[in-house]
Structure formats: C-alpha cells, structure tokens
Amino acid sequence: MKLPILYSFRRCPYAMRARMALVIANIECELREVVLRSKPPSMLEASPKGTVPILLLPDGRVLDESMDIIDWTMERSNIRRWSWPLQDPTTRAPAYGLITENDGPFKFALDRYKYADRYPEQDATLYRGLTEPFLDKLELRLTHSPYLFGDDPSLVDVAIFPFVRQFARVDLDWFESTDYNGLQRWLKALEEGQLFRSIMRKHDAWRSGDSVTYFLEDAAAQEAV
C-alpha cells in the first residue's frame, strides 16, 4: 500500500471534517465510499467498530477517529495557517475545549433533536434547547470575528462546522429566524466555500476490485465545477 486508504461516507459529519483536513494538508489517498448498512469486509477488518472515517496508513496503522486523522494531518504537513489554534499554547486549550464540547454534549443533544422520534421521552424542542449553551458560545465568538479564532477559518471551524450544519438543517426555517446572526454568516461562508464543495462529490459505494478513486484528484475536479 503506497497511499493511505480512506473509508468515508459522504454525509457523515465526522467523515466530512476528516476529508476537509486531508484537502487542507494536501494529502493524497485512495477514497473508498461506503454504505453504512452494507459495510465492506475490508473496512470491518481494519476497524471492527465499523464507523467512518477510517484511514489506513502505509505503515499499517489504522486511524478510526476523525480527530486522530486531523491531528495526523498536522504532523504530516505544514498547515500552520489552519492549525495554529490547536498548536499555539495560548489557544490550544480553548480550541480543543470547543471541539470536545461539540463532540460531547452538543452531539448528544443534536442526535436527539434530529431523531426525536427515536427518543420520545422528550419533545424535539427540549432537545433543541439542550444545544443552545454551545451555540451561544459559538455565537459570542462570532460576534467578534468572522471565524472562531479570527479573520480566517481554522481546523477548529472545520471540526465543528459539519455538526452545526447538520443541526441547522433539522429545521432550517427555525434556524434562519433566530438571532444567531454570526452563526448563520459563519455557516453560509463555510458551506459555500471551495473547501467544503470540493469534498462533497457523490460516489457509488466502493466494492473490492473497483478502480482507484484518488481523493485529491477527485476533490480538485469537484472544485473546478
């Protein structure tokens, strides 16, 4: 194996942020799109927990957590413009703190809000209310700057954005009627940006024996559309 192999699912927010980080770091890999209800045996052999993204490295290591993939891209590439909040001693703790809160309490509430019929113990609006402390924290930051750590997007924005995007799409009319003006501008800028568009091309599910899809080559083709 000369290139890393990435098992991904287009709509998964964890996979989205991993793909965005790989584009930022200019790391080529073999892309294997999967259907989660029919996971290929090679994917499950690499990581029996069966979640995406999974990055198989040429040295045999398996990265099956999206933040591990993001951290690996920082080790492999000089992407200081994007990664500085996660590396600077003055911002590292709050940067990782936001990501931890996103992946913990916010994701917990988001799942229950999006799939409220699976959690009938409470109304969807109550689950939505559980997301507000985190959204308020993001909004406060975005009243002072276009992105979470200044005038330019960073890997912190990349790590959090797909989940806020998923939240907004549960009830877009409601989200757009709120006073989350900074959050709305931030979401629109990232969603319409070339980076995000470049990683959202649709693919058929990968099967053993298929020809190789080169991820950066494919992302560049999408960006040019």
Q: Is the pLDDT of residue 220 over 90?
A: no
- AA letter at 24: I
| pLDDT of amino acid 225 | 38
Which residue has better confidence, 225 or 181?
A: 181
Which residue has better confidence, 220 or 104?
A: 104
Say if CB 165 and CB 129 are below 8 A apart: no
Tokens matching residue 50: 């069966």
Of 167, 204, 207, whose CA–CA distance to 187 is shortest? 167
- pLDDT band at 102; cut points 50, 70, 90: very high
The per-residue DSSP string of 38-65 comes to: B--HHHHHH-TT--S-EEE-TTS-EE-S
Say if CB 49 and CB 64 are below 8 A apart: yes
Q: Give the whole-angstrom CA distance, residue 64 versus residue 55.
A: 6
**Average confidence (pLDDT) over 185-206:** 97
Average pLDDT, the chain: 95
Q: Is the pLDDT of residue 68 over 90?
A: yes
Cα separations in angstroms, 205 against 39, 89, 186, 219: 9, 42, 32, 17
Question: Minimum mean pLDDT among 33-42, 102-111, 127-136, 213-222: which range?
Answer: 213-222
| pLDDT of amino acid 219 | 81
pLDDT digits (tens, 9 = 90+) for 153-166: 999 999 999 999 99
Q: How many CA atoms lie within 13 A of 185 on its CB side?
A: 15
Q: Is the pLDDT of residue 120 over 90?
A: no
| pLDDT of amino acid 218 | 78
Name the percent of the chain lying above pLDDT 90: 92
List the domains of the chain with CATH numbers. Answer: 5-78+196-224 (3.40.30.10), 81-192 (1.20.1050.10)
Q: Is the pLDDT of residue 106 over 60?
A: yes
| pLDDT of amino acid 58 | 95
* Neighbouring C-beta atoms of residue 102, cutoff 10 Å: 22
**Average confidence (pLDDT) over 183-210:** 96
Name the percent of the chain lying above pLDDT 70: 97
| pLDDT of amino acid 222 | 59
Helix (H) or strand (E) holding 159: helix 155-170
pLDDT digits (tens, 9 = 90+) for 89-98: 999 999 999 9
pTM, full prediction: 0.95
Radius of gyration of the chain (CA): 18
Q: Could you tell me whether strands 54-56 and 5-8 are parallel, antiparallel, or unpaired per DSSP bridges?
A: antiparallel
| pLDDT of amino acid 217 | 87
All residues at 6 or more sequence positions from 212 whose CB lies less than 8 Å from its CB, including other chains: 30
